[in-house]
């Protein structure tokens, strides 16, 4: 997950400390990450939404092309939750022809943004704030939430219900993405995990053991430092997918954990673009 060692390595690689990274975070850092030379996005519609769940109303961010119906995508953010960086990432995905719902996984405790940027997670006070919210999440709640979020997508006029839904998850959202496919196996046709955390464990309900309960194709984009710590995980994922007869693309990227998140210290534009293209290729088959 986004632990102290990962954060320290990423900051050191960029010549930053926690304090200097915090000073750079926010809107200015986001502009620097996306790049001033980015082409303008096509017309999009977007709004904040509330989704009924088994435990109340979850808040989220919805974005889609201005016209037409498109495959629906459920996006689970990383450990710092729904914030401006993930709205920007969702807009880019929507611009490729998808209706994207980014959810606040911490809605039981607070509305988004729980954290304004990833820098807050690197601060001890931010970690202390988030730990009870993380503890409130468990597989049962995640799957219940996922079922509600996917059902909500299917109510939207901007979603093409003749096509399957897709799910993507970053960091802690990786396991959530797999559990989402289990929650609605008849609707979810593709799952992408990007620097997913905790995909393989000894637990009976480890995400890798659930692949056979889905009808999805998979993309597992693995960070090089995650692979260095657990080199057998990629082989375990491959074996699980093969045993389940589920198509899966599994690759270790030359970037560190968190490399796809625009405001993370490990953000790597080139490798993020490459992973994004592979995800688009996966979702194009929905």
State yes or no: cis peptide before 17, omega within 30 of 0: no
pTM of the predicted structure, to 2 decimals: 0.90
**pLDDT value at residue 39:** 75
What are the φ and ψ backbone dihedral angles of 211, each rounded to 5 degrees? -55, -35
pLDDT of residue 40: 87
Closest to 178 in 3D by CA, of 187, 194, 191: 191
Q: Which residues pair with 120 in a beta bridge?
A: none
Q: Count H helices and E strands in the chain, helices first.
A: 11, 8
Sign of the alpha-carbon dihedral angle for 143, 50, 119, 89: positive
Provide the CB-side half-sphere exposure for 206 (13 A, CA).
14
Phi and psi at 63, nearest 5°, equal -145, 145
* Nearest alpha carbon to residue 78 among 88, 86, 87: 86
One digit per residue, the tens of pLDDT, for the chain of length 286 reads: 455 545 445 444 444 444 433 433 443 334 334 444 567 889 999 999 999 999 999 999 999 999 999 999 999 999 999 999 999 999 999 999 999 999 999 999 999 999 999 999 999 999 999 999 999 999 999 999 999 999 999 999 999 999 999 999 999 999 999 999 999 999 999 999 999 999 999 999 999 999 999 999 999 999 999 999 999 999 999 999 999 999 999 999 999 999 999 999 999 999 999 999 999 999 999 9
What domains, with CATH codes, occur in the chain?
4-283 (3.40.50.1820)
What is the C-alpha to C-alpha distance for residues 185 and 232, in angstroms, rounded to an integer?
27
pLDDT in the model for residue 29 = 39
């Amino acid at each position: 997950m986004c632990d102290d060692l990962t954060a320290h390595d990423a900051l050191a690689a960029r010549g930053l400390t926690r304090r200097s990274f915090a000073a750079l975070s926010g809107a200015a850092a986001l502009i620097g990450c996306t790049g001033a030379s980015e082409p303008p996005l096509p017309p999009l519609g977007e709004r904040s939404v509330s989704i009924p769940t088994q435990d109340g109303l979850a808040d989220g961010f919805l974005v889609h092309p201005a016209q037409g119906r498109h495959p629906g995508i459920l996006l689970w953010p990383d450990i710092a939750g729904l914030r401006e960086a993930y709205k920007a990432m969702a807009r880019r995905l929507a611009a490729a022809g998808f209706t994207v719902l980014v959810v606040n996984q911490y809605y039981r405790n607070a509305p988004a943004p729980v954290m304004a940027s990833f820098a807050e997670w690197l601060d001890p006070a931010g970690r202390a704030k988030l730990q009870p919210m993380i503890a409130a999440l468990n597989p049962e709640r995640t799957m219940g939430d996922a079922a509600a979020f996917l059902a909500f997508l299917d109510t939207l006029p901007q979603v093409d219900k003749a096509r399957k839904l897709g799910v993507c998850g970053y960091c802690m959202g990786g396991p959530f993405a797999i559990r989402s496919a289990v929650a609605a196996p008849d609707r979810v046709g593709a799952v992408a995990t990007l620097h997913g955390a905790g995909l393989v464990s000894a637990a009976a309900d480890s995400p890798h053991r659930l692949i056979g309960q889905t009808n999805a194709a998979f993309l597992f984009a693995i960070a090089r430092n995650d692979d260095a710590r657990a080199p057998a995980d990629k082989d375990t994922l491959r074996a699980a997918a093969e045993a389940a007869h589920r198509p899966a693309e599994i690759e270790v990227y030359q970037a560190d954990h968190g490399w796809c998140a625009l405001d993370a210290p490990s953000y790597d534009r080139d490798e993020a673009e490459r992973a994004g293209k592979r995800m688009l290729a996966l979702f194009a088959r929905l």
